[in-house]
Amino acid sequence: MHRILRALALVCVTAAPSWASAIDKLTFDGLEPAKAERVLMSIQAPLYFPLYQDGGNVIINIGGKTWFAPGGPYEAATPLFTRPQRAIAYAQHIGGGARRIGGVKVTNMNRILVAQFATRGVPNSTDSNHPDFVVIDGLHDGLGEQPETLFDAQHKPFVHTLNGRRFVPAFLSANDAIAFVAKLKESGVDGIDRMGLDFHSHLKLVQDYIDSDAPIITFGTGDKPRDAEHLMDVWSHAAQR
C-alpha cells in the first residue's frame, strides 16, 4: 500500500488492483442537472488535502489505465481525502522531495463535488494552476467510501425529527452510522437497519428524496461517533450559509 501511495505521487499509475475507487467527474452520471447541486450540497462532510510548505497545492499526475479514477487520466489533479488520517498518511509518503509538505488542510466536500460536477464533458486539465479535483479514496485501507443510509422496520428510509426538522440520516463512516443506530436504540427506537451503497449509487438515492419533506442528509466522516444534536447543528449551520 505504501508503494501505491508513493507511485501515485511521483509517476503515472498504469495498473493496479480493481478494488479501490475515487470520486471524480464520472461519479455523477445519472444525476439530473436541475437537482444535482441540491443533491451534492446535502452532503455535510469535510475533505482533507495536503499543502506544501510554500502554500501551494499538491498536484499529481494520474495516468494510464486509471483503475480508481475512471474519469482520468489526469495530467494535473489535486488529491483530496474524506478522512484526515488518509490525507496525513499520503502527505507523509510524498514529503521527502524538494518541496516539503507543510500540513493538511480541510475544505467542504459539497463545494468540491459541485465543482467536479461542473467539469463534466470538459477536457481534463493539463494546467497545474487549474487542476481537476479527485477525491482519492480507498488507498489507505483498500476500500472506497460506501455511505450508509438508515432504514426503518418497514424498509423505508428512517425519518428523524429534531427541532421541528425532518431528515433521513446517512453517513460516510460506517462507524458513525453504527454509533447513531446505537443511540436510537438507547432512546427506544428499534428496527433500524443500515444500507450501504457505493458513492455513485448513493447520490442517486439522495436524488430520489431531495424534493421530499425529509431529504437524505449525508454526514461524515468522523473518528468520533456523531449524536443527533451534533448532526443537526452541522446541518443547521450549513443551511444558514
Q: What pLDDT digit, counting tens, does each position of 86-99 carry?
A: 888 888 877 766 66
Q: Partners of 166 in the beta sheet?
A: 161
CA-nearest of 83, 199, 207, 210 to 144 is 199
75 and 194 belong to one structural domain: no
176 and 231 belong to one structural domain: yes
Q: Is residue 143 situated within a structural domain?
A: no
The answer to whether 46 and 106 are in contact (CB under 8 A) is: yes
The answer to whether 8 and 67 are in contact (CB under 8 A) is: no
Q: Is residue 160 situated within a structural domain?
A: yes
State yes or no: pLDDT of 20 exceeds 80.
Answer: no
Higher-scoring residue by pLDDT: 27, 240? 27
Please state, in angstroms and rounded to a whole number, the distance separating the CA atoms of residues 77 and 133.
Answer: 6
Last residue of one domain, picked from the residues 137, 157, 174: 137
CA-nearest of 105, 119, 104 to 24 is 119
Q: Is residue 142 situated within a structural domain?
A: no
Please state, in angstroms and rounded to a whole number, the distance separating the CA atoms of residues 100 and 52.
Answer: 6
CA-nearest of 160, 158, 170, 173 to 222 is 173
CA-nearest of 210, 197, 198, 170 to 32 is 210
Q: What pLDDT digit, counting tens, does each position of 215-225 carry?
A: 999 998 654 44
156 and 230 belong to one structural domain: yes
**Mean per-residue pLDDT over the chain, rounded:** 79
Higher-scoring residue by pLDDT: 22, 138? 22
Question: Looking at the 3D structure of the chain, how many domains does it have?
Answer: 2
Q: Is residue 119 situated within a structural domain?
A: yes
Please state, in angstroms and rounded to a whole number, the distance separating the CA atoms of residues 168 and 165.
Answer: 10
State the pLDDT confidence band at 115, using cuts at 50, 70 and 90. Answer: very high
Query: Quick count: other Cβ atoms within 10 Å of Cβ 207?
Result: 20
Q: Is residue 125 situated within a structural domain?
A: yes
State the pLDDT confidence band at 17, using cuts at 50, 70 and 90. Answer: very low
Please state, in angstroms and rounded to a whole number, the distance separating the CA atoms of residues 215 and 226.
Answer: 19
Between the ranges 16-20, 175-179, 227-231, where is the mean pLDDT highest?
175-179
State yes or no: pLDDT of 239 exceeds 70.
Answer: no
112 and 189 belong to one structural domain: no
Q: What percent of the chain has pLDDT over 70?
A: 75
81 and 160 belong to one structural domain: no
48 and 122 belong to one structural domain: yes
Quick check: helix, strand or coil at residue 122?
A: coil
152 and 233 belong to one structural domain: yes
Q: What pLDDT digit, counting tens, does each position of 134-155 carry?
A: 998 655 454 567 899 999 999 9
Instruction: Over range 177-194, report the average pLDDT.
Output: 93
Last residue of one domain, picked from the residues 113, 137, 161: 137
112 and 167 belong to one structural domain: no
Cell numbers describing residue 74 = 489526469
Domain that holds residue 53: 2-137
Predicted local confidence at residue 96, as pLDDT: 67
83 and 7 belong to one structural domain: yes
Quick check: helix, strand or coil at residue 38?
A: helix
Q: Is residue 222 situated within a structural domain?
A: yes
Cell numbers describing residue 117 = 460536477
Instruction: Over range 119-136, report the average pLDDT.
Output: 91
